[in-house]
Structure 1
Amino acid sequence: MSVSEITGTTQTRPSQRRRLLVLAICCMSLLIVSLDTTVLNVALPSMRREFHTGVAGMQWTVDAYTLVLASLLILAGSTADRIGRRKVFKTGLVLFTLGSVLCSLAPNLESLVAFRMLQAIGGSMLNPVAMSIITNTFTDPRERARAIGAWGAVVGISMAAGPVVGGLLVETVGWRSIFWINVPVGLTALLLTWRYVPESRAPKPRRADPVGQLLVITLLGSLTYAIIEAPTTGPATLLPFAALAAAALTALVLYEPRRPEPLIDLCFFRSAPFSGATVIAISSFAALSGFLFLNTLYLQDVRGLTALQAGLYMLPMAALTFLCAPLSGRLVAGRGPRLPLIVAGTSMAACGLLFAAFEAETSTPLLFTGYVLFGLGFGMVNAPITNTAVSGMPRSQAGVAAAVASTSRQTGATLGVAVIGSVLAAGTGAAGHATGFVEAARPAWWIITACALTVLAVGLATSGRWARETARRTAQRLESADTHPTADDSRA
């Protein structure tokens, strides 16, 4: 496959300067999406007071965004492969920026949730498409791994800057201002994309799969609704929506292999590293979202800190994530994903154990130790997830592969807030009173510990020689299917 087939715009490999510009533009899109999450967490108590809502209301403020994002990422990735990655990327920037403006003007909780969903539609067109652009721009495996390491460092930057910037804005201007910061970054990224990012698409575009898309939305939506609303409505809500989620999952597994070009190509999961990366992404981002949700409420509602003080308290965790992300990228490039995953799982599990077994919240030294351990672990986990998801896959499938990885992250983030928030609400009451917060949060910390141990166990199981061989066979099968369309029948 020639470069011209991949980019559709040039006959030569992009220059080093242009490649770095493309990386910077893609990282800007990741920055506003990631920053939006960390900034929002610090503002949750202020939103709750203004809108007179409880823990469930705050869960929906977060999960309305991550749920829509998770539901549409694969569609956005495959659509970008089909009609053009730059075109979809620009559309995403416009929608995300517009959604940010509307969020800042929301008159009530319901409209805020609706505008967050609009943000998410735009966000779904950014991260997986940007990763696909990076994959097709940096064709050398070592260069790509370093680029992905830089990409992961942006998550650290957002975690470092988000709580502090968010806290400062909440205290001085108000929570609505947290959405304003997306506007100049989004507009700048849009102008630079117009100027520097070449158009690219897959040589063999994939057809749309509306039934598969509807099943994914039904699965994630019903599962999240059941988990969030169960503490207040009980089994009457949990059982029917859980049954609907199970039915959607069953239908998805039965329907997708029968399509020549499915929304989710289940053949991908024959690769042990790819399947492992999916599980690790769900587990690690569930741990992250639960960690941020618990600590934001604890620091402000129980310790009585201001939004800015709470952001500064969490700075050690964010700083370690920022420092470790590029290191993890270099380790993945030089030695593979095994060591970073071991460090990630062990560190995050140790953090969860400090809070679950030793009530680290009640001791400031233990609190900061837990923050450092979690930052170290999470900083190490992102590069192995991304690199494993896209490396070895045919470049024609880059958008879909990157979208599955991003979907796994957002699914984990959605479930993390839903489960952790529901456990907390069940222990403290639906209104989220501070009384007994530490005791009520203990089961949630055990869940976070279990997520971290899953990262460790799955990382060890899917990073060996056997796993790499399954990845090689899967890549050959996918390449054969791209070359000989009739081979699709064999994947059913």
Structure 2
Amino acid sequence: MARPEASSATVAPCPGKGTRPVPTPAPLHPEPEIMTTSPRRSEPETMTTGTSRRAAAVDTVSSPASRTGMTLLAAALGFFMITLDATVVNVALPTIGRQFGGGITGLQWVVDGYTLAFAALLLSAGALSDRLGASRCFAAGLTVFTLASAGCGLAPTLPALLAARVVQGAAAALMMPASLALIRQAYQQDAARARAIATWTAAGGAAVAAGPVFGGVLTSGLGWQAIFFINLPVGAAALATLTRAPRSSPRPVPLDLAGQVAAVTALVALTFAVIETGQDGWTSPVVAAALAGFVLAAAAFVLIEARTRNPMVPLGLFRSRAVSITAVIGLVLNLTFYGLVFVLSLYFQQVRGQSVLTAGLMFVPMTALITVANLTAGRLTARYGPRLPLAGGQLLQVTGFLALIGVGPHTSTMTLLALLIPIGIGAGLSVPPLTSTLLQAISANRAGTASGLLSCARQIGGALGVALFGALIAGEGSATFLTGLHTSALIATAALLATSAATLTLMRTTRPAGL
């Protein structure tokens, strides 16, 4: 495992001004010759000493440790906003539909417009974070996200709401890899970084658990607009916190414009194909055309990156087993988890006949434990390294998915809640060490690109899970639905067993030269 470089002890970061010398406290006693030559100077000397002491006290408040904590707090608040906005909207969709109309397709794009922009721009945003500086990109994304949230709440028509949601997704894409890059740059020691990543991940877990509850309370009490306006104070707090965090150094290299265009085109085509598959099926001409566009754009991207002098995503990144395997594991984790949530949401309502509110509450024990597991995973990773917690989390999810194979239309509620608990705990244990493994494997100036790659894989995995598992449960009757549910659980089990084996046998965090 590559050891992080030690940071200098002679300078301290200063927000907005790079580095500056740490002030040396003034002597406690004035020089004797000064006192002899001019006794009247004793008072000014005392004032100078007091000023130095006050300056030292101010410097202690804004110490590197304090500014590192501010970096983590800003990154966690940003991640909370991104995740909350992806989960809080679902509950409000019927209310939005009653006001604007637009049918099921229009309401789907309230969610999918955000997802499409988010997933398609993650890779490019990660590269921009490294090129322009993580703090600058995070601040820009946070500002735009907050303003777009206000635009969503003030939208007078459904098209205006959809446009604001796309802007939100683009801003979220800029924030996500930059937030992880900030943590990678702020925490040089592996153990401290693992705990910081656990805190960052726990913020997302809290948003997952709070999203349905916030959505229901705000929509019923203040109207659907409130689910977007809630981002305004959170965004303002995150921006205020970011001003106290150190600024990241940019990496001045030429912009790989051709690579950016090819990557965005490929990811837009793939994400659009996956979204439309859930509605039209894999054989739809629109889906087939989108998949063909993805293949062509992806091939062009690889050729461009192989030939350009300053590629957006150096293909050498994939020489690292840690980078390649974490991307695959991230895809599988989101595919299985979000595919399961989608299928079970319909199972609770269509097979068991439960209300929308009851169906949402069924997930609370699972999602609430994710946050606790995130924090526990940070401590485990700091003590034992990332491999064992990551493999253990995936294997714990396997036990839950295997148990779901026996679920029927009359399975008791308590049994269902018990079966979901290992899936929630396992998911919470897996993500922090997954992220730690990736950030250990690359240098700080590539953290944005690598984080964008992992986030992109996870977003695509979530969309694939909904499309794949949704296709398996399609059909008439509860028997067909249950067959699809059981098949989905088997697929999830097999995929997680494969990634668990890869974690234990193949994963290393050694950094290839130049990365």
Q: How far, CA to CA, are the matches of 2:485 and 2:96 in structure 1?
A: 23
What SS does the aligned partner of 1:263 have?
Answer: coil
Deviations 1:367-418 (A, max 9, x none): 2123212211210111122111111311221221222122222222233334
Q: How far, CA to CA, are the matches of 2:350 and 2:190 in structure 1?
A: 47
**1:248 corresponds to which of 297, 301, 313:** 297
Q: How far, CA to CA, are the matches of 1:51 and 1:374 in structure 2?
A: 37
Say if 2:468 is the partner of 1:427. Answer: no
Instruction: Please state how far the C-alpha of 1:448 moved relative to its aligned partner.
Output: 5.6
Q: How far, CA to CA, are the matches of 1:363 and 1:54 in structure 2?
A: 35
- Alignment correspondent of 2:54: none
Deviations 1:108-157 (A, max 9, x none): 54433322110011111212111111111111111111111111111221
What SS does the aligned partner of 2:19 have?
Answer: coil
Q: How far, CA to CA, are the matches of 2:157 and 2:330 in structure 1?
A: 33
Q: How far, CA to CA, are the matches of 1:241 and 1:84 in structure 2?
A: 33
Q: How far, CA to CA, are the matches of 2:161 and 2:350 in structure 1?
A: 22
Say if 2:514 is the partner of 1:478. Answer: yes
> Pairwise CA RMSD of aligned residues?
3.0
- Alignment correspondent of 1:337: 386
- Alignment correspondent of 1:191: 240
Deviations 1:204-234 (A, max 9, x none): 4343222222222222222233333344385
- Alignment correspondent of 2:497: 456
Gaps of 5+ in 1: 429-435, 480-492
- Alignment correspondent of 1:224: 271
Residue range with higher mean Cα deviation, 294-303 or 396-405: 294-303
Structure whose alpha-carbon radius of gyration is higher: 2
- Alignment correspondent of 2:44: none
Q: Would you say the 8 A contact 1:166–1:311 is kept in 2?
A: no
Deviations 1:52-97 (A, max 9, x none): 5666555433332222112222322222322232222111111111
Say if 2:329 is the partner of 1:280. Answer: yes
Q: Would you say the 8 A contact 1:62–1:417 is kept in 2?
A: no
- Alignment correspondent of 1:347: 396
Q: Would you say the 8 A contact 1:273–1:462 is kept in 2?
A: no
Q: Would you say the 8 A contact 1:99–1:119 is kept in 2?
A: yes
What SS does the aligned partner of 2:311 have?
Answer: coil
Residue range with higher mean Cα deviation, 353-362 or 367-376: 353-362
- Alignment correspondent of 1:207: 254
Rate the CA distance shift 1:119–1:405 in 2: closer, same or farther, 3 A: same
Gaps of 5+ in 2: 23-61
1:457 partner letter: A
2:128 partner letter: T
What SS does the aligned partner of 1:125 have?
Answer: helix
Q: Would you say the 8 A contact 2:322–2:441 is kept in 1?
A: no
- Alignment correspondent of 1:102: 151
What SS does the aligned partner of 1:175 have?
Answer: coil
1:126 partner letter: M
- Alignment correspondent of 1:144: 193
1:10 partner letter: T
Instruction: Please state how far the C-alpha of 1:174 moved relative to its aligned partner.
Output: 3.4
Q: Would you say the 8 A contact 1:338–1:460 is kept in 2?
A: no
TM-score when normalising by structure 2? 0.81
1:223 partner letter: L
Instruction: Please state how far the C-alpha of 1:44 moved relative to its aligned partner.
Output: 4.0
Rate the CA distance shift 1:229–1:50 in 2: closer, same or farther, 3 A: farther
- Alignment correspondent of 1:487: none
Rate the CA distance shift 1:219–1:442 in 2: closer, same or farther, 3 A: farther
2:257 partner letter: P
- Alignment correspondent of 1:162: 211
Instruction: Please state how far the C-alpha of 1:463 moved relative to its aligned partner.
Output: 4.0
Q: How far, CA to CA, are the matches of 1:420 and 1:29 in structure 2?
A: 30
TM-score when normalising by structure 1? 0.84
- Alignment correspondent of 2:19: 10
Q: How far, CA to CA, are the matches of 1:370 and 1:46 in structure 2?
A: 32
Q: Would you say the 8 A contact 2:391–2:504 is kept in 1?
A: no
Q: How far, CA to CA, are the matches of 1:356 and 1:50 in structure 2?
A: 40
Instruction: Please state how far the C-alpha of 1:34 moved relative to its aligned partner.
Output: 1.0
Structure number with the bigger relative contact order (C-alpha 8 A, sep ≥ 6) is 1
Say if 2:424 is the partner of 1:375. Answer: yes
What SS does the aligned partner of 1:126 have?
Answer: helix
- Alignment correspondent of 2:306: 257
Identity level (%): 35
Deviations 1:428-457 (A, max 9, x none): 6xxxxxxx4674365366346524542332
